[in-house]
């Protein structure tokens, strides 16, 4: 029987960035092989560091999919745990070690007896940085294993163990990563008239881009434009020739995201023109489309868990977090939901330490849900 706590702790110690999850892949493959050694109706397919496990149903009418992401973040862990990350600048600060462990526990449960319908377990790489969901789909990995329904969860620190939350519409925002570079002319600080200061242009852009949300987005709908990094110059007495900005655009609908992207582009081009300099703009939405729950399947999931003892099912508003599961939900109807893990530190925090008692709880309750769906 799978030791959920030991499995989570082993995975927690080997966090790796997207498409570099080599140790994670090896650990998962060894664990999966052990879980399936007596299972005659299972098949395994790999794609780079990703893994698909397919359980063939006895009389299948559809395929039910379950997805877990497997990558970590470039964060130095500060939890002080005895089983903290062995990689100095990597951490499972988004709870993907929990996602993988729960998926393994569900696989073990579902492999005990052949279901009527097919089941697919997806261990997906590169959720945080490269959009592994899109990469796998576009590379044709699923083939005849593509689910008819897809489910996935994400741990949520501010919910208690036993609480789950979702809604019947958009759960997470679509995100678009933005890279902008202003190029002027460098020079000596004492002779500004002979130069063209890219730092000043970038500063004007940062202040003007704040109007995208305040004056272009319906206040009822909401949106986010954040530029979290600005790099320009090397010292105090040299005028910057270039300035590079990195930011993110987030919206709850694809239509609003496209509007905001166009406004950011127009403002950057306008600032560049007013300062007589060049600008390069890169907008990359890629796989991070809005996570739109299928209303009928979400209604079914919510109604089911409202009747399960020990589960506090909450209907929640959308969040501006991004998830590449949104890409898969544009291809396949499904549901994503929050799972409470009760920790004071937010996602992507170096001190994040979810409560491990959620692991047996999740496997127990969610395996019953999957059995209902698969039989």
CATH of the domain at 179: 3.30.70.360
**CA–CA dist 154, 326 (Å, integer):** 13
Please tell me whether residues 21 and 41 are part of one structural domain.
yes
Please tell me whether residues 10 and 136 are part of one structural domain.
yes
Please tell me whether residues 312 and 350 are part of one structural domain.
yes
Please tell me whether residues 19 and 85 are part of one structural domain.
yes
For the segment 219-261, what is each residue's pLDDT rounded down to a tens digit? Answer: 988 899 999 999 999 999 999 999 999 999 999 988 999 999 9
**CA–CA dist 12, 5 (Å, integer):** 10
pLDDT attached to residue 135: 97
Average pLDDT, the chain: 97
Domain count, the chain: 2
Domain that holds residue 257: 174-284
pLDDT attached to residue 305: 98
Who's near 59: CB < 8 A, 6+ residues apart? Answer: 116
Section 210-225 average pLDDT: 94
Count CB-CB contacts under 10 A for residue 272.
22
**Sequential DSSP letters for 115-138:** -SSEEEEEEE--TTTT-HHHHHHH
Q: Does residue 24 carry a pLDDT above 90?
A: yes
Please tell me whether residues 296 and 158 are part of one structural domain.
yes
Please tell me whether residues 17 and 99 are part of one structural domain.
yes
pLDDT attached to residue 149: 98
Section 202-221 average pLDDT: 96
For the segment 67-108, what is each residue's pLDDT rounded down to a tens digit? Answer: 999 999 999 999 999 999 999 999 999 999 999 999 999 999
Please tell me whether residues 232 and 325 are part of one structural domain.
no
Q: Which two tokens stand for residue 338?
A: 């929050």
How large a percentage of the chain has pLDDT more than 90? 98
Question: pTM score, two decimals?
Answer: 0.92
Please tell me whether residues 189 and 159 are part of one structural domain.
no
Single residue among 284, 312, 337 that ends a domain in this structure: 284
Q: Which two tokens stand for residue 94?
A: 């988004």
Single residue among 284, 317, 352 that ends a domain in this structure: 284
CATH number, domain of 158, equals 3.40.630.10
Please tell me whether residues 55 and 125 are part of one structural domain.
yes
pLDDT attached to residue 176: 94
Q: Does residue 7 carry a pLDDT above 90?
A: yes
Q: So which residues are the catalytic ones?
A: 69, 128
Q: Does residue 345 carry a pLDDT above 90?
A: yes
Please tell me whether residues 195 and 147 are part of one structural domain.
no
pLDDT attached to residue 286: 87
Q: Does residue 351 carry a pLDDT above 90?
A: yes
Section 41-59 average pLDDT: 98
pLDDT attached to residue 81: 97
Please tell me whether residues 178 and 165 are part of one structural domain.
no
pLDDT attached to residue 196: 98
Single residue among 234, 249, 284 that ends a domain in this structure: 284
pLDDT attached to residue 141: 97
Please tell me whether residues 10 and 84 are part of one structural domain.
yes
Who's near 118: CB < 8 A, 6+ residues apart? Answer: 54, 55, 56, 57, 60, 62, 63, 64, 145, 374
For the segment 271-322, what is each residue's pLDDT rounded down to a tens digit? Answer: 999 999 999 999 998 899 999 999 999 999 999 999 999 999 999 999 999 9
């Amino acid at each position: 029987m799978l030791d959920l706590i030991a499995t989570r702790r082993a995975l927690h110690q080997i966090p790796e960035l997207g498409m570099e999850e080599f140790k994670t892949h090896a650990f998962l493959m060894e664990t999966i092989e052990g879980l399936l050694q007596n299972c005659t109706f299972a098949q395994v397919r790999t794609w780079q560091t990703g893994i698909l496990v397919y359980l063939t149903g006895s009389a299948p009418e559809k395929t039910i999919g379950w997805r877990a992401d497997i990558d970590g973040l470039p964060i130095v862990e500060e939890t002080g745990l005895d089983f903290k990350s062995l990689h100095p600048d990597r951490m499972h600060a988004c709870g993907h070690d929990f996602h993988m462990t729960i998926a393994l526990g569900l696989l073990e449960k579902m492999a005990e007896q052949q279901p009527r319908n097919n089941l697919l377990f997806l261990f997906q790489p590169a959720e945080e940085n490269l959009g592994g969901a899109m990469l796998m789909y576009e590379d044709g990995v699923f083939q005849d294993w593509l689910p008819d329904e897809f489910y996935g969860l994400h741990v949520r620190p501010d919910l208690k163990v036993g609480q789950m939350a979702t809604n019947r519409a958009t759960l997470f925002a679509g995100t678009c990563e933005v890279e902008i570079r202003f190029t002027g002319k460098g020079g000596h600080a004492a002779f500004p008239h002979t130069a063209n200061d890219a730092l000043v242009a970038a500063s004007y852009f940062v202040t003007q881009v704040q109007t995208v949300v305040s004056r272009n987005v319906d206040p009822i709908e909401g949106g986010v434009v954040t530029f979290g990094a600005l790099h320009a110059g090397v010292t105090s007495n040299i005028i910057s020739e270039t300035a590079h900005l990195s930011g993110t655009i987030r919206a709850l609908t694809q239509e609003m995201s496209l509007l905001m992207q166009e406004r950011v582009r127009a403002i950057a081009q306008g600032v560049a023109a007013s300062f007589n300099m060049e600008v390069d703009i890169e907008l990359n939405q890629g796989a991070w489309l809005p996570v739109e729950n299928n209303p009928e399947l979400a209604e079914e999931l919510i109604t089911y868990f409202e009747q399960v003892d020990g589960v506090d099912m909450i209907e929640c508003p959308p969040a501006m977090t991004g998830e590449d599961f949104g890409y898969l939900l544009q291809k396949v109807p499904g549901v994503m939901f929050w799972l409470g893990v009760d920790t004071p530190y937010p996602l992507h925090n170096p001190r994040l330490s979810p409560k491990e008692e959620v692991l047996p709880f999740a496997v127990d309750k969610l395996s019953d849900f999957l059995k209902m769906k698969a039989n």
